[in-house]
Amino acid sequence: MLITHSRHLPVIVFALLLFSCSSGSAINETVAVDNPGAVDNPGASHNPGIANNLSDPGASGTSNIRGVSDLDLPERPLPREIVPPRGYQLSVMRGNRTPDGQPGENYWQQFAEYDIEATLDPEARTLAATARISWHNNSPDTLRRMHLELVQNHHAEGVMRNLPAEVTGGMQLHQVIINGTEFTDEQVSRNRYTVNGTRMSFWLDKPVAAGESANIEIEYEFLIPQRGAGGRMGHSRDNLFYLGYWYPHLVVYDDVVGWHPDPYLGLAEFYHGFADYNLTIHAPEEWLVMATGELKNPGEVLDPHVLSRWMEARESDEPVRVYTAGAEERATLPAQESGSNGMLTWRFFASNVRDVAFSATRESHWDAARTPVGDLNGDRRTDYTVINTFWREEAPLWSEVTAYQQHAISFLSEMTGFPYPWPHMTAVEGAEIIGGGMEYPMMTIMGDYNLRGPQALYGVTAHELAHMWVPLIVSTDERRYSWLDEGNTVFSTSESVLDYFPDRDPHRRGQAAYLGSARRGQEGPIMRRSNYHYSPEQFRVASYSKPATVLVALRKVLGEDVFWEAYRTFINEWAFKQAYPWDFFRTFERVSGRDLTWFWHSWYYETWILNQAIASVEEADDGTRIVIRDEGDVPMPVYLTVTREDDTVSEHTIPVDIWLQGVRQAELIVPYRDVKYVEIDADVAFPDVDRSNMFWAREYED
């Protein structure tokens, strides 16, 4: 067949033989291009050993498809090759990362050890602490300067923000000691040590060479904001404190960018390295404390009856009430040490985590249980983690959150193929601090959800727990690429919700959120730097709903088995490492054996829309001619469901390759004339902006 394109496009002879079968069986395509030199196909494989793999010699039946020029539609843009930034390319060249998206043989990342002793004063609403940090330079570079993040300075007067924030004065630094030398006001005046917004930077008297360490000691305090860091920490009703971003945190120095000095502005979140943490928390004796890590001295702080029930809950598949707020018994032991001023000391240890948070409550119920996570240590036996839930009487829906956590942790462990690795998962009800939820390793704070109902509460629970995998196990730069953690998490959340509430389809809700913005022309590219989207709506769509929606579409393109193999490969290969978007892209290409440049560029780098339409369905001499118009700019396969008069159903696919030749219209002939219905994307896997033109029904005369 001779296909003539618009006057702006070359002439191509393009023929495709499509195999089809009845009743929803799978179909693959065989592509034959009679003049392959006429157009460079952006979808052709650029990775050695990767082929399009479209043929299925075992399929039966044939239909003819051809691309058709259409002068009524604008010339279509073609996806371009994806070129990662220079830093990523250099990392690949050095062997830190592989060209196909794996950690390389020379991969490295920094590591630190934190020893933090903090005192919580609920009456004054202050936290005073000393942080001792030992930082190990695992890079091949000699570093003359270091950076710390002081998130509490988001609440200092005059600091740059992209969201409003309560002004508390920020973090007050009383003493800063680097490698045994105290930094003085004189050094500040000589720019050896500066604090600019949420960033603290200092020049080292002795550079830290590869393999060496630096030791930092900082004494500090701050007034705890009521809704701190955009509702990610704070206090509520004089009976709850939730401390996140409460200590000086080392800025990441990695193999792609080096130092990441991006300030915290309030919208896009965080990028942290992995570390071990020893926490010592002093709190008044009536306050019950839980934190990231394992509680090392439960017998020194918990009432014996409470401790006994907690030990029982750790072996129970059903939730156990560990402590009832308002009961006559105490939750904690009375302070015994002389000079303790009525304070108890809580000790926690966490290994190889990105961050730590802690809660202190005196009027919360405490429920607990265990839940299976799979085989953590390879002994072919099921391992468990402990689920803790702290909630106040004013949040009655929270009586089910322990069960919600049990389901989500177990489901997500299986879904990702990576068992939840930590000793506990704790949810804290934090109404008046937060409306939604916020994640930290092993800890999350969420609103009461009294007005939104149990399904919404399950959804936010699953969402925050899904974050345990990304970005807390697979570490990502949320400040630059928030979609890589939020998009994956929204997708995982929807899968978990579907499993718990089978009659719901949360993927459709996310798709609708993206489409609303796309139809208004108000979205921003997913790959735009997350800290600098033009509006909060663009940030939300580009970070949450669109990337999650696109993963559903990718699953349709690759098929369930290949998609999940690629997804799990990414999670497992990058667990406890620092992944970038191109690692994600290339992992899917490696596992699927397909070049997906057209997919990544169209959905992630552009704001193109998808708009596939049935232009006409007409009887022909050799069957029925179905004409599909591609009125959007995103090239995607067309999945057609054709129903005949006897209700026999056949599935047909127009492969994406035909659109990558630059055509806007494709003609398919099925070898029968009794067509009753034709529908594009019957399972609504693709986010098409106009579904009104995706269904055709034969009209019958009266």
431 compared with 162, residue with greater pLDDT? 431
Instruction: Fill in the DSSP letter of residue 475.
Output: B
Structural contact between residues 321 and 365, judged by C-beta atoms closer than 8 angstroms? yes
Four-CA torsion 5, 10, 13, 16, nearest 10 degrees: -70
Q: At residue 566, what are phi and psi to the nearest 5 degrees?
A: -65, -45
Pairing of strands 383-391, 424-429: parallel
Give me the pLDDT at residue 15, please: 34
Exposure string over 578-590, b if 16+ CB within 10 A, otherwise e: bbbbbbbbbbbbb
Element (H, E) at 16: strand 14-19
Give me the pLDDT at residue 191, please: 65
Give me the pLDDT at residue 186, please: 66
Residues 144, 264 within the same domain: yes
Per-residue pLDDT band at 218 (split at 50, 70, 90): very high
Report the distance separating Cα 279 and Cα 218, nearest Å.
15
Residues 117, 236 within the same domain: yes
Per-residue pLDDT band at 201 (split at 50, 70, 90): very high
Q: What is the sign of the dihedral through the CA atoms of 316, 450, 499 and 426?
A: negative
Length in residues, the chain: 702
Q: At residue 539, what are phi and psi to the nearest 5 degrees?
A: -60, -50
Number of domains in the chain: 3
- CA–CA–CA angle 237, 240, 245 (5° rounding): 120
The pLDDT of residue 626 is above 90: yes
- Evaluate whether residue 482 is within a structural domain: no
The pLDDT of residue 102 is above 80: yes
Report the pLDDT averaged over residues 650-666.
96
Structural contact between residues 168 and 235, judged by C-beta atoms closer than 8 angstroms? no
First-to-final CA distance of the chain: 39
Residues 670, 625 within the same domain: yes
- Evaluate whether residue 6 is within a structural domain: no
Report the pLDDT averaged over residues 546-558.
99
Give residues with Cβ within 8 angstroms of 241, minimum separation 6: 120, 122, 224, 234, 235, 287, 359, 360, 361
Report the pLDDT averaged over residues 335-356.
88
Q: At residue 413, what are phi and psi to the nearest 5 degrees?
A: -60, -45
Q: Round the CA-based radius of gyration of the chain to a whole number and report it.
A: 29
Tokens of 648: 């026999």
Give residues with Cβ within 8 angstroms of 75, minimum separation 6: 6, 8, 9, 662
Report the distance separating Cα 178 and Cα 479, nearest Å.
27
Report the distance separating Cα 445 and Cα 432, nearest Å.
11
Report the pLDDT averaged over residues 268-294.
97
* 661 three-state secondary structure: helix
Give me the pLDDT at residue 537, please: 87
Cβ atoms < 10 Å from Cβ of 58 = 8
Tokens of 617: 């369905």
Give me the pLDDT at residue 493, please: 98
Q: Which residue has the tokens 């250099």?
A: 90
> Of 564, 583, 605, which closes a domain?
605
Residues 628, 542 within the same domain: no
Per-residue pLDDT band at 73 (split at 50, 70, 90): confident
Tokens of 227: 């809704």
Residues 576, 687 within the same domain: no
Tokens of 287: 């306050």
Element (H, E) at 486: helix 482-500
Tokens of 535: 């509006």
Instruction: Fill in the DSSP letter of residue 123.
Output: T
* Secondary structure, 3-state, 203-256: EEEEEECCCCEEEEEEEEEEECCCEECCCCEEEECCCEEEECCCCCEECCEECC
Give me the pLDDT at residue 189, please: 61
Report the pLDDT averaged over residues 434-448.
98
Residues 251, 115 within the same domain: yes
- Evaluate whether residue 40 is within a structural domain: yes
Residues 546, 558 within the same domain: yes
Mean pLDDT of the chain: 90
Structural contact between residues 679 and 628, judged by C-beta atoms closer than 8 angstroms? no
Give me the pLDDT at residue 36, please: 29
Residues 181, 234 within the same domain: yes
Residues 657, 689 within the same domain: yes
The pLDDT tens digits for 568-621 are: 999 999 999 999 999 999 999 999 999 999 999 999 999 999 999 999 999 999
Please give the residue range of the domain that contains residue 540: 86-106+504-605
Q: Which residue has the tokens 């009679």?
A: 34
The pLDDT tens digits for 366-425 are: 999 999 999 999 999 999 999 999 999 999 999 999 999 999 999 999 999 999 999 999
Instruction: Fill in the DSSP letter of residue 175.
Output: E
Q: What is the sign of the dihedral through the CA atoms of 314, 320, 324 and 325?
A: positive
Report the distance separating Cα 445 and Cα 428, nearest Å.
5
Pairing of strands 111-121, 274-284: parallel
CA 354 from centre of chain: 15
Give me the pLDDT at residue 525, please: 95
In this predicted structure, which of 109-113, 143-147, 340-344, 456-460 has the lowest mean pLDDT? 340-344
Nearest of 125, 225, 170, 270 to residue 433 by alpha carbon: 225
513: left (phi over 0), alpha (psi -120 to 50) or beta: alpha
* 469 three-state secondary structure: coil
The runs of H, that is alpha helices, within 60-144 are 86-93
The pLDDT of residue 4 is above 80: no
Structural contact between residues 303 and 332, judged by C-beta atoms closer than 8 angstroms? yes
Give me the pLDDT at residue 314, please: 98
Tokens of 40: 């460079």
The pLDDT of residue 664 is above 50: yes
- Evaluate whether residue 573 is within a structural domain: yes
Give me the pLDDT at residue 328, please: 86
Element (H, E) at 308: helix 304-313
The pLDDT tens digits for 11-53 are: 223 333 333 333 333 333 323 332 323 333 333 333 433 333 3
If 0-12 CB within 10 Å is exposed, 13-18 middle and 19+ buried, where does residue 280 land? middle
- Evaluate whether residue 414 is within a structural domain: no
CATH number of the domain enclosing 212: 2.60.40
Residues 597, 509 within the same domain: yes
Residues 102, 250 within the same domain: no
- Evaluate whether residue 428 is within a structural domain: no
Give me the pLDDT at residue 74, please: 83
- Evaluate whether residue 286 is within a structural domain: no
Report the pLDDT averaged over residues 192-210.
92
Element (H, E) at 129: strand 126-136
61 compared with 260, residue with greater pLDDT? 260
Interhelix angle 482-500/506-520, nearest 10 degrees = 140
Give me the pLDDT at residue 22, please: 37
Give me the pLDDT at residue 8, please: 31
Report the pLDDT averaged over residues 332-352.
87
The pLDDT of residue 273 is above 60: yes
> Of 605, 636, 669, which closes a domain?
605
4 compared with 558, residue with greater pLDDT? 558
> Of 580, 605, 630, which closes a domain?
605
The pLDDT tens digits for 481-518 are: 999 999 999 999 999 999 999 998 999 999 999 999 99
Report the distance separating Cα 109 and Cα 139, nearest Å.
7
Residues 538, 676 within the same domain: no
Give me the pLDDT at residue 31, please: 31
Report the distance separating Cα 273 and Cα 313, nearest Å.
33
The pLDDT of residue 134 is above 60: yes
* 398 three-state secondary structure: helix
- Evaluate whether residue 181 is within a structural domain: yes
